[in-house]
Amino acid sequence: MSRFMVACAAARSVRGVRLVLAGVLLLAAPGLAAADSKPGAPPAWSFNGPLGHFDLESVQRGYAVYAAVCSACHGLEQVHFSDLAGMGLKVEDIQALSAARQIADGLDAQGRVQRRPARPDDRILSPYVSPAAARAANGGVVPPDLSRIVMVRPGGASRIYSLLTGYAPNAQWQDDRGFRNPYGINNFTAMPPPLHDGGVQYADGTAPTATQQARDVTTFLAWISAPHQDERRRLGVGAGLYLCFLAALFMILTRRIWSHVRK
C-alpha cells in the first residue's frame, strides 16, 4: 500500500519537477544549489560486501527520486518498467507508474513525434529524442544512461553519493567546465546540483532531505545495476552449504574406497 503511494507521489511530481529542472538547465540558476550539500562521507551501504542485501524500502524511495528528478535528463535504457517488480512493486503499481510517463511512439502523419503513456513492457528511455538533442540541452554533454552506472563508474555507489552531495555551496556553471564538484571528472561535472531538501515527496513519511534523497537514489541505482544480486548471493550461500555437505559425503566415500589400498 505504502509502496503504491510512493509510486503515485513519484508520478505526480514528475512533470512539475521536470519543468523546474528545465528552468535550471536553461538559466543554470545559481541560487538553487542544495542547502546542505556538504561533501559528506558516504554511508555504510547495506548492499556492499559478499553477504550484503538491498534495503528495498530505500530502493523504492530511490525510484521516486529518479522519477521526480533524474529522469528529467537520464534514461534507464536497458530497463523495462516491468523490471521494477523486483523492488517489491505489484503489477497494478507498475501499470500506474508506467502510465504516468509519456514516451515517444513513432511519427504522426505530419512527421511530428507522437507521444503516448508508457506501458509496463516499455523501456525507461532518455527524455531526449536523440543524442544531439540531449547535447544541445545540456551544454554539449549527453547525460549518461544510468542502467549500469554503479557498476561501470569507478568508485561505484559511494562515488555517486559523494557526487550528488559534494557540490560547493552556491555552485555555479563555469565556462565550458561545468559545476565545481570534487567527485566529478577533473573536479567538475556538467550536472547542475540535482537534489534539494523537500524536492521530492516520500509517501512513507521519511523526511526528504537532500542527503536522504542522495542515499536513496544511490541505493536505487545500485539495485538497478545488479537487480538479481541478493538472489545470487542467497544462491551462493545455499549452494555453498549444500556442496560442503556433499563434499563431506564424498570425502567419507573416498576414504572408505581407498582404505582397501595398501599404502
What gap in Å lies between CA 166 and CA 35, rounded to an integer? 11
Site mask for another protein (CB under 8 A), range 19-58, x = bound: -------------------------------xx-------
CB of 44 or CB of 261, closer to another protein:
261
Min dist. Cβ of residue 45 to another protein (A): 15
Site mask for another protein (CB under 8 A), range 140-179, x = bound: -------xx--xx---------------------------
189 has which bridge partners? 179
Question: Per CB under 8 A, which of residues 61..80 are in contact with another protein?
Answer: 78-80
Min dist. Cβ of residue 229 to another protein (A): 9
What gap in Å lies between CA 240 and CA 224, rounded to an integer? 26
Min dist. Cβ of residue 191 to another protein (A): 19
Location of C-alpha cell 559534494: 166
According to the binding rule CB under 8 A, does residue 107 interact with another protein? Answer: no
CB of 104 or CB of 246, closer to another protein:
246
According to the binding rule CB under 8 A, does residue 235 interact with another protein? Answer: yes
CB of 110 or CB of 259, closer to another protein:
259
Min dist. Cβ of residue 104 to another protein (A): 17
DSSP letters for the chain: -HHHHHHHHHHHHHHHHHHHHHHHHHH--GGGS-TT---PPPP--TT-STT----HHHHHHHHHHHHHTGGGT--EEEEEGGGGGGGT--HHHHHHHHHTSEEEEEE-TTSPEEEEE--TTSEE--SSSSHHHHHHHTTT-PPPP-TTHHHHSTTHHHHHHHHHH-PPTT--EETTTEEEEEEEETTEESS-----TTSS--TT-----HHHHHHHHHHHHHHHHSTTHHHHHHHHHHHHHHHHHHHHHHHHHHHHHHTTS--
According to the binding rule CB under 8 A, does residue 254 interact with another protein? Answer: yes
Rounded to a whole number of angstroms, the distance between the first and last alpha carbons of the chain is 69
According to the binding rule CB under 8 A, does residue 260 interact with another protein? Answer: yes
According to the binding rule CB under 8 A, does residue 91 interact with another protein? Answer: no
- The residue count for binding another protein (CB under 8 A) is 36
According to the binding rule CB under 8 A, does residue 18 interact with another protein? Answer: no
Q: Which stretch binds another protein (CB under 8 A): 9-17, 22-30, 63-71, 249-257?
A: 249-257
**Residue 33 grid coordinates:** 544549489
Cβ atoms of 121 and 103 within 8 Å: the answer is: no
According to the binding rule CB under 8 A, does residue 251 interact with another protein? Answer: yes
Min dist. Cβ of residue 28 to another protein (A): 27
Interacting residue ranges for another protein, rule: CB under 8 A: 50-51, 78-80, 82-83, 147-148, 151-152, 227-228, 231-237, 239-240, 243-244, 246-247, 250-251, 253-254, 257-262
